[in-house]
Every structure is written in structure tokens, then in C-alpha cells.
Amino acid sequence: MIRTRIAPAPTGPCHVGIARTALFNYLFTRKHGGTFVMRLEDTDVARSRKEFEQDVYDSLRWLCLDWDEGPDVGGDFGPYRQSERKQIYQAALQKLLEANLAYPCFCTPEELEEERNRRLKLKLPPRYKGKCPTLSRAEQEAAKAQGKPYSIRFRMPDKTIAFEDMIRGKVQFDGAEIGDFVIVKPDGDFIFHLSNVVDDIEMKITHVIRGEDHVSNTPRHLALAEALGATPPTYGHIPLILNPDRSKMSKRKNPTSVSDYRQWGYLPEAMVNFLALIGWSSGTEREVFSLDELVAAFSIEAVGRAGAIFDIEKLNWLNGNYIRALPLEELQKRLRPYLPDADPDYLRRVIPLIQERLKRLDEAPALTEFFFRDELEYDPALLIAKKHTAEESRAALSQVLDRLSTIEEFGIESLENGLRGLVEELGWKTGHLFMAIRVAVTGSTATPPLFETMSVLGKERCLTRIRRAIEKLSAMSGERT
């Protein structure tokens, strides 16, 4: 039975990198009928927050990436918070100490920094080469009795450590170049390396899919698993998400939190589709996939090795594609948080006019503002038709007002027939007159189709706005209304 996990640290909002890693684990697990585990690595007491934990839950569930076991759903291998598993880590640590595979290190920070700088000057890897590995048990106990603070280091084996990465193929490291590393801090807190490995062993995790920034940690984790007498998981390291300039994605250049994209009106379906395409390819020209289709098509071997660009324009394109595919009732439901005060029946008529233009749901208020305002604010100069004066435009809009007043049923066809007929009578160019009308009834030069817009606005609102436009033009031409 395949068992994978996502193990975020709740020290900040859920990053899109965490979401992408969770997605790849989810797709791999569901493809093979396995178990997907949520584990919280919350041992950083100073920075871990309950609100960040909740944000992880909310963000991943918004993306429909449900887990089978976890802190909030239970399971047979809990507890699923590292802060509640210290006794388990302590037992593993004791096993390493008794086998002399770990030892106390009494080196001060100053001594460690001095040794690091010395090795760097010699152009040697900055690995630990202090005196503590050779201390006898008696010397260790004497130092403890003197109250000297100490960390605990793992004895890294002096041998080549190789593994077959699911994505990168064969990878190997020289254990001697890595050196002994800290697994317990002087304050007694367990370092990520030990807790992570122990949890994967105890929770029977079979496959670990994580970011490529963990590649250098893998030899340490393999050595720890061997020292604990356990079979390690199979590892796969996915490429990092990069900014367009190929720098690592960071808050300075791109929003990084899933909740930001959710707030801005990206659909979870589009976000999942987009994240899947960052680093993975179906091997076809196809770019639009549902979550179920991604599960069916996903192959861990098809994940690339190179860093993948976070292309916001592609995300916008995908999101617009998904918005256009939504049924009217569903789109109205999703727009409700962005237009909370809109009358539902009226909004149902407005939505079809903007659906094709939406790339994000949060664009709806700006695109629909003129439908809901009593008074429009715009530059009166926009009312002056091209190649016409303010007076000529005022006279033309007066004719429009008279023509619209005679139309009883304010439907699209009757509006088009009436106004196109007026264009011929006036001898104007269609675009010139229609632009003046558009500005008069919407306050903008860029809106949904004119006749559909006017039909939704309704006769009285259109007539009122055209009268107001005529007043503006009269003021510009020096006439009284």
C-alpha cells in the first residue's frame, strides 16, 4: 500500500509551493490507490500558529486535496502533530546514543564559527570537524556535570550514500563531506532531520515527494533510517517554482500565499490545473484538466528536473477559461462574495454580459459598477462623438432620447432596430453615435455589448442617464437645458 504525506510547518500562510507539493503527492497517491497523510511539523514553537495551521487546512481543502489521515481527521498512526510526538523522538534518540551513533557536542557557537571560517579559507566544505566525536563517556559526563550546554550530533557514516530518485535518477553523496550534523538543539528541541525520519518510519510512509531544496537532506535521512534499522521511503524531488526571471519564488516578486489567489477570485479548479502544469507535462498539447483527469494522466516520471516558471498570464488564461465554462447559477454563487449587495434576480441578468470578459472573480465589481450606481461619474468630453462638436452630440442624444421613449418593450432586438434606424436618419457613422450612447448610459467607453447592456439597465435608467448626458453637453456648449 502506497503511503505519502504532506508535512507543512504552520509558521506562515500556506505557500503555493506547499500546495503544488501536496498536489503532486495527492495525484501520485490517488493514481495508485494509496493513502495520503497530513502531518504538521510544528516543533518551531516560537513561530507556529493555530491560524496558520487552519490556513493550511482551508487552502488545501479549497483545492479539493483531501487527506485520509491527519491531525483533524485522525488515523491509526497518530498523533499527527510533531509537537505531540516528542516521546517517540526521544526513544529513537536513545537508541542512537546507546549504539554510539550519536553523541553530545559541547562546542560553543564561537568555536563552531571559527572552525567554519577556517575550513572556508582552506576552500574545504564547512562541515563539523570538532573534538567532541572522540570524547569518552567519562569526558562527556564530566562536561555535563559542569553544566556545559550541548547539542546532540549524529555520526554521519564515512561512505558514499546513493539513492534512486523517482524524478532525478541516481543521486549520490560522499558522507565524509557532509560531516556529523545536529539532531537535537541545546534547548532539547529536535531538529527536522530526526523528527522527519522517525515520523516517516513510524507512519509507514512509502514515498516522499518534496521540493528539490531537500535533495541535500536526503543522504542524512537515509543514514538516519539505516542507523534506526528501518527501510527508508522512496524519494522524489520536484523542481522549485521560479519567478519569470528564474529567481526562487518569493513574496518580494510574486504573491506566494494560496489564500491571496483565493481572495482575488481564482477558481480552485484553475489553480489546481495551473499548479499541476508547473513542472509536470502530460506529453500532449492539452492544457486543461479536471482534478480527476489529472489523477488519471499523472506520472511521477513525467515531472521535469528544471525549475518551473510561475506564469501569472497563463494562470489568468486558465482561470478565464474555467469562468467561461461555469453555468450561470454556479458563477452567480461564486460571485456573491464580490457583489454581496446585488439583487439576485438583477445580478442573474448582468452576469452573462461580463462572463466572457472575466479573468478573475474580483474583477466583477469594476466591470459591473455602472449597473448598480445611481449617478455616473465620467469626463463629459467622452460624450462628444468623433468628428462632431458638443452641440452636434447633444442634438444627436436628444434624438436618441426621443427614439428610446417610443420603444415600449426594451429588448435587444427593438433597441437595435430603433437605434440603427436613427443612425441612418441622422447620417452619422454607427460607431460614432453608439459610442456617445455607450458613454451616456454606462460612463465608460469599454463595456459589454451596447443593446444587451441597455436592455438589462432598463428603460427608465437609460432615459435618465441620457438626459443627464445631454445636460453635461449643454453645459459644455454654453446652452441651457
* Residues involved in catalysis: 251
Q: Could you give the C-alpha distances from 262 to 15, 279, 324, 416, 423, in angstroms and in order?
A: 12, 22, 18, 40, 46
Nine-digit cell string for 216:
541535500
Tell me how far apart the alpha carbons of residues 263 and 253 are, in angstroms, rounded to a whole number. Answer: 18
Please say whether the beta carbons of 219 and 164 come within 8 A: no
Q: Could you give the C-alpha distances from 247 to 13, 156, 253, in angstroms and in order?
A: 21, 32, 9
Tell me how far apart the alpha carbons of residues 123 and 68 are, in angstroms, rounded to a whole number. Answer: 48
466: Cα within 13 Å, side-chain hemisphere: 27
Tell me how far apart the alpha carbons of residues 220 and 237 are, in angstroms, rounded to a whole number. Answer: 15
- Comparing CA positions, the residue from 60, 150, 156 lying closest to residue 102 is 156
Per residue in 370-389, is it b (16+ CB within 10 Å) or e — as a string?
A: bbeeeebebeeebbbbeebe
Most distant CA atoms of the chain, gap in Å? 109
